[in-house]
Amino acid sequence: MRWRIALACLMCTVLAACSGGAHGRHLSFSGSALGQEGALIRTQLARFAAQHPGVDISVRITPDAANQRHQLYVQWLNAHVPEPDVLQLDIVWTAEFAAAGWIRPLAIDTTDFFPAAAQANRWRGVLYAVPWFVDAGLLYWRTDLFADAPASIDALRADATRAQRERGVANGLVWSGARYEGVVTVFIEYLAAFGGRIFDDDGAIVVDSPQAVRALTFMRDSLGEQGFVPVSALSWQEEQVRFAFQNGQSAFMRNWPYAWALLQDPQRSRVANHIAIAPMPPAAGGRPSAALGGAQLAINRYTREPELAASLVEFLTAPVQMLERARIASQLPARRSLYDGPDLGRALPMPIADVRRALDATVARPVTPVYSEMSEILQVHLHRALTSQEEPSTALHGAAREIRALLDRSGLRGAAS
Amino acid sequence: MSRALAAILIAMLLGPIAWMLAASVLPENQIFSGAPIQGLLHASFDHYRALFDERGFLLPIRNSLIVAGLTTIIALPCATLCAYALARLPMRGKGLFLALLLAVSMFPQISVVAPLFLVLRATGLIDTYPGLVLPYVTFTMPLAVWLLTGFFRQLPRDLEDAALIDGASRLRVIRDVVLPVAAPGLASTAILMFLYCWNEFLFALSFTFGPEHQTVPVAIALFRGRYQIAWGEVLAGAAVATLPVVIVVLAFQRRIVAGLTSGAMKG
Amino acid sequence: MIAHDRRTADSRLARLFVAPVILIVGATAPVPIASTVWAALHQRDLRLPWLGQPFVGLANFVEAAGDRRFLDAVLHTVMFAAMTVPIELALGLAVALVMHRVQRGRAIVRAAALLPWAIPTVVAALVWRLVFDNTTTMFGFDWFSNSRAAWIPIAAADVWKTTPFVAVLLLAGLQTIDQEIYESARLDGASATRQLFTITVPLLAPAIVVAAAFRTLDALRLFDLPYVMTGGGPGTATEPLSLYAFVALMERLRFGYGSALSISVFALTFLVALAFVRSLGHASRVEAS
């Protein structure tokens, strides 16, 4: 009996050695691999492997909760681990990882990508990641309550208030106001709507400009009894916001594109077939805006297969794969040209023209390695203003002061874009 | 203690679990609606099915059981012997030793994670069972030693002294006299260690890469999408995950009772 | 055996018994701890490699002392411990008494009492979040957007989860109390309450102190629950010290400052631990005399 086992072991070892020789090259991909996205990415990776004989690709699942994925990446890259070779990054991580020297510069042509998205992936002029799919903050509105999207911030306020007071809808507008990255994305839309910015063209901090104060004051005044946004929104993240709108409890919602498909499901949603989207409307002196988000692909600096990894990145961001992603996972492609043809309209369940309008109006968050700290400063001060612990001007001046100190400490003054 | 009070206490402890179980059979959008009772009319075991078919949830349960079991099996005897030595045997620098041990366990996990990752990687233990068991043993041992030392100190010396005078060797005294009486303390410590491993999240997330070695808390954390939490499956997963623990705890119940009765008969 | 020989044999045995612990802990713990101490004394921001890793002495600690968020976090942590530990002790004692006294269905009751502890912390956090979110839907008061009230769900989850732990510690102690003491007290006419306060609690005092010690030390290192339930919000109102240290390390990549914060957590818990050890030593000295 024992010799049988020994023979089996020997055969296994020989087989393993053989397969090791024939399939010598290995790539590892890390990103969202749950549910539909998981099946999709595996299909696409298998397609790539078929085009590159001798290459075998594996998926390393990381939690989708952004801070957990971020923590894992930090640990791995800090330890100079060669895998995963290709990483899915949030849009605000690129500058940070690039400055830390953890991802490789890329020589990929980005003319077809949305300029704002490509720009957000450049650090000191060099491209470090490629936009994979984009997200834009959208204003969802109820077509059964309104004929048109509001054309201005004031119209938004009027419509939302009217819906709440006269049409019996519980809330006018809902957005994700919990103290996390989400509230910053909401804020930058209001900021752009009122003509404000976080940095001006010279890299100076202008988050406490009069326009910014007006934007934050508007946000604060829209909360509570006198306004049209529920106070509980200050502890909501995207899902609670979606549920409120989905259950018919709000006339407007500000959320990301992922919600569309769920809202259109008549089994679960009370507002199915009664929704439309638009960018956040402008106030006087501002512009329509949509916070820019999405995922990017980057290459691990310590990878053992740099050219192969680059090929994989190019493959995954090719129009064919992007269209497939739109069709199966309802994620918006990062290539502008795809929005011109008819294929995307058939693939995506969302109205393409409105999506295009929003994507053309995107406003990016500051591209800097210290973004997460900067965001924390903003989050804390925004929350203080929104919960009326501080006046908006005090809060923003405080934020500006702390951001300046942060940039000084980091040797980055004047280097942020 | 009145029966009513006891019932209230148990109800308080089990209430949220009952809510959890009820919610785990509700369709997803009913879970936040605030009226689980009505929702029960639509109850189904979909989430449980998804748990096993789509998520392969047996794997993390197996991994948690192995890691927690190994940790307890390794750490408990070491801690017991060490605690006995600190409680009963002559040794220099006991205070210092205990203090150092305590200092180790007081060190926050969060700062230890990154350097420990480097160490484990250097020794090739990342994404293996030993890679988790080693940190777990290291960080449960000090508290276990502390706890058991106090426990041993509290036991009356008469039984041991009598046996020693009778000519028994120290080892025999430990095996035949001390351990049976110490069974409650040992069982408590074992449960403590087991549940520490069962609950532990940060190390498990950081030191494992894939489903082959990930434990239950990590698997459940992976049920969270970018914005959405698969609530139904999280709750079903929690329900399923507590089952092995209940079984293990029930097994330890017998130990406590058995240890006591045998101790009483010997004494 | 002559006493001296026994003593030598015992000494040798003691060293043998202690060796495995020294080996295991000594192999794993020193490097990460030393690394943390080293990092705390240096400026080390992973995002800004051009700043290098200069030695800065105690500068990180000085920064922490002047950091309002750090001081708030310390306050949150201490107050949380002060709030939850007494409740956990009282409830734990009650549950331990139930587990000890119940005769029928004993094993089931004990297993049931331990269930909350068996639920992974991340799940308990999510479940309690669910419970409180549901009460918001039912009663209209939003716990999680109120800076003071947001601690209540966290405390509730913590008490719920760790009461079984305290109960188990106390149960072990309860089982070593000689039943005859209760018998004679009962014969003397003492009521159940009287027995509780004059017999049970004093005899359990060492176990209670141990339970209090463990719970306090765990409460001071609170991390998982606020991490999952509130993320430290609203604002930073529910951010304990460990969470702030984690943010500094993993989200801001300031390994130097984050390590200094971690050492602060350590210092706080270690000092409290020493205080408990002293009081335990004192208690056992009093007991022995």
Which of C240 and B9 is assigned the larger pLDDT? C240
Asked if A75's CB is within 8 angstroms of B113's CB, the reply is yes
Q: What integer pLDDT is reported at residue C37 of this predicted model? A: 93
Looking at the structure of chain A, the number of domains it has is: 2
For the ranges A400-404, A406-410, B246-250, C199-203, the maximum mean pLDDT occurs at A400-404
Which of A301 and B195 is assigned the larger pLDDT? A301
Q: What integer pLDDT is reported at residue B253 of this predicted model? A: 63
Q: What integer pLDDT is reported at residue A386 of this predicted model? A: 93
Quick check: B32 contacting A, CB < 8 Å? yes
Nearest CB partner across the interface for B119, out of C6, C32, C269 = C32
| Residues A151, A18 share a domain | no
Pairwise CA distance, residues B143 & B139, whole Å: 8
Which tens digits make up the pLDDT trace of A200-222? 888 899 999 999 999 999 999 99
Pairwise CA distance, residues A76 & A299, whole Å: 13
| Residues A299, A275 share a domain | no
Asked if C47's CB is within 8 angstroms of A99's CB, the reply is yes
Asked if C233's CB is within 8 angstroms of A235's CB, the reply is yes
Q: Are B121 and B208 in contact (CB under 8 A)?
A: no
**Which residues in chain A have Cβ-Cβ distances shorter than 8 Å to B28?**
268
Which of A175 and A79 is assigned the larger pLDDT? A175
| Residues A272, A176 share a domain | yes
pLDDT band at A413 (very low <50, low <70, confident <90, very high): confident
| Residues A110, A68 share a domain | yes
Q: What integer pLDDT is reported at residue C273 of this predicted model? A: 83
Find the range with the poorest average confidence among A15-29, A144-158, A381-395, B222-236.
A15-29
Position A347 in a domain: yes
| Residues A173, A64 share a domain | no
Position A398 in a domain: yes
Q: What integer pLDDT is reported at residue C213 of this predicted model? A: 85
Nearest chain A Cα distance for residue C160, angstroms: 23
Pairwise CA distance, residues C32 & A76, whole Å: 16
Q: Is the pLDDT of residue B133 over 90?
A: yes
Q: What integer pLDDT is reported at residue A19 of this predicted model? A: 43
Nearest chain C Cα distance for residue B209, angstroms: 18
Asked if C250's CB is within 8 angstroms of A71's CB, the reply is yes
Nearest chain A Cα distance for residue B126, angstroms: 11
Q: What integer pLDDT is reported at residue B3 of this predicted model? A: 74
What mean pLDDT do residues C79-107 have?
A: 87
| Residues A156, A247 share a domain | yes
Find the range with the poorest average confidence among A191-195, A351-355, B71-75, B145-149.
B145-149
Asked if C233's CB is within 8 angstroms of A179's CB, the reply is yes
| Residues A142, A130 share a domain | no
- Chain C interface, best mutation among A72, A78, A181, A232, by max C CB count within 10 A: A232
Q: What integer pLDDT is reported at residue A73 of this predicted model? A: 93
CATH number of C60-288: 1.10.3720.10
Number of A to C CB contacts under 8 A, please give it.
82
- Cα–Cα distances (Å) from A156 to A94, A219, A243, A281, C10, in that order, read 34, 12, 21, 8, 83
Pairwise CA distance, residues C148 & C145, whole Å: 9
Nearest CB partner across the interface for B106, out of C6, C35, C273 = C273
ipTM: 0.80
- Cα–Cα distances (Å) from A114 to A95, A190, A340, B232, C103, in that order, read 18, 22, 13, 37, 72
Q: What integer pLDDT is reported at residue C243 of this predicted model? A: 92
Nearest chain B Cα distance for residue C194, angstroms: 12
Nearest chain A Cα distance for residue B156, angstroms: 50
Nearest chain A Cα distance for residue C23, angstroms: 26
Q: Is the pLDDT of residue A7 over 60?
A: no
Residue where a domain stops, chosen among A352, A377, A402: A352
**Which residues in chain C have Cβ-Cβ distances shorter than 8 Å to A99?**
47-49
Q: Is the pLDDT of residue C178 over 80?
A: no
**Which residues in chain A have Cβ-Cβ distances shorter than 8 Å to C136?**
232
Nearest CB partner across the interface for C14, out of B16, B90, B195 = B90
Q: Are A49 and A267 in contact (CB under 8 A)?
A: no
What mean pLDDT do residues A389-401 have?
A: 95
Position A359 in a domain: no
Nearest to A215 by CA among A362, A376, A374, A378: A378
Asked if A380's CB is within 8 angstroms of C47's CB, the reply is no
Which tens digits make up the pLDDT trace of C6-24? 788 888 888 899 999 999 9
For chain C, percent of residues with pLDDT exceeding 70: 94
Q: Is the pLDDT of residue C122 over 50?
A: yes
The three-point CA angle C191-C197-C199 to 5° equals 85
Neighbouring CB atoms inside 10 A of C275's CB total 12
Position A314 in a domain: yes
Neighbouring CB atoms inside 10 A of A14's CB total 10
Residue holding tokens 């068996």?
C118
Q: Where are the domains of chain C?
A: 60-288
- Domain range for A377 is 136-291+366-410
Q: Are C152 and B251 in contact (CB under 8 A)?
A: no
- The mean pLDDT of chain C is 85
What mean pLDDT do residues C115-121 have?
A: 81
pLDDT band at A168 (very low <50, low <70, confident <90, very high): confident
Nearest chain C Cα distance for residue B135, angstroms: 7
Q: Is the pLDDT of residue C38 over 70?
A: yes
| Residues A377, A245 share a domain | yes
For chain C, percent of residues with pLDDT exceeding 90: 33
Q: Is the pLDDT of residue C67 over 50?
A: yes
Q: Is the pLDDT of residue A306 over 50?
A: yes
pLDDT band at A1 (very low <50, low <70, confident <90, very high): low
**Which residues in chain A have Cβ-Cβ distances shorter than 8 Å to B210?**
60-61
| Residues A152, A127 share a domain | no
Q: Is the pLDDT of residue A274 over 80?
A: yes
Q: What integer pLDDT is reported at residue B11 of this predicted model? A: 84
Q: What integer pLDDT is reported at residue C168 of this predicted model? A: 78
Asked if C236's CB is within 8 angstroms of A96's CB, the reply is no
Residue C39: partners with Cβ closer than 8 Å, 6 or more residues away: C255, C256, C258, C259
Q: What integer pLDDT is reported at residue B49 of this predicted model? A: 81
Quick check: C97 contacting B, CB < 8 Å? yes
What mean pLDDT do residues B168-193 have?
A: 82
What mean pLDDT do residues B98-115 have?
A: 84
Q: Is the pLDDT of residue A354 over 90?
A: yes
Which of A350 and C119 is assigned the larger pLDDT? A350
Position A340 in a domain: yes
Quick check: C267 contacting B, CB < 8 Å? no
DSSP-assigned letters across all residues of chain B: --HHHHHHHHHHHHHHHHHHHHHHTS-GGGTTSS-HHHHGGG--SHHHHHHHHTS-THHHHHHHHHHHHHHHHHHHHHHHHHHHHHHHS--TTHHHHHHHHHHHHHS-HHHHHHHHHHHHHHTT-TTSHHHHHHHHHHHHHHHHHHHHHHHHHHS-SHHHHHHHHTT--HHHIIIIIIHHHHHHHHHHHHHHHHHHHHH--HHHHHH--STTT--HHHHHHTTB-SS-B-HHHHHHHHHHHHHHHHHHHHHHHHHHHHHHHHHHHH-
Q: What integer pLDDT is reported at residue B34 of this predicted model? A: 55
Q: What integer pLDDT is reported at residue B266 of this predicted model? A: 33
pLDDT band at B181 (very low <50, low <70, confident <90, very high): confident
Pairwise CA distance, residues C169 & A312, whole Å: 56
**Which residues in chain A have Cβ-Cβ distances shorter than 8 Å to B29?**
243, 246, 268
Q: Which CATH number characterizes residue A27's domain?
A: 3.40.190.10
Three-state SS at C104: coil
Q: What integer pLDDT is reported at residue B267 of this predicted model? A: 32
Position A331 in a domain: yes
Q: Is the pLDDT of residue A315 over 90?
A: yes
Domain architecture of chain B: domains with CATH: 45-266 (1.10.3720.10)
Quick check: A36 contacting B, CB < 8 Å? no
Q: What integer pLDDT is reported at residue B265 of this predicted model? A: 32
For chain B, percent of residues with pLDDT exceeding 90: 18
What mean pLDDT do residues C130-146 have?
A: 77
Quick check: C216 contacting B, CB < 8 Å? no
- The mean pLDDT of chain A is 89
Residue holding tokens 């919602």?
A253
pLDDT band at B262 (very low <50, low <70, confident <90, very high): very low
- The mean pLDDT of chain B is 81
By residue count, chain A amounts to 417
pLDDT band at A21 (very low <50, low <70, confident <90, very high): very low
Asked if A383's CB is within 8 angstroms of C233's CB, the reply is yes
Q: Is the pLDDT of residue A352 over 50?
A: yes
pLDDT band at A260 (very low <50, low <70, confident <90, very high): very high
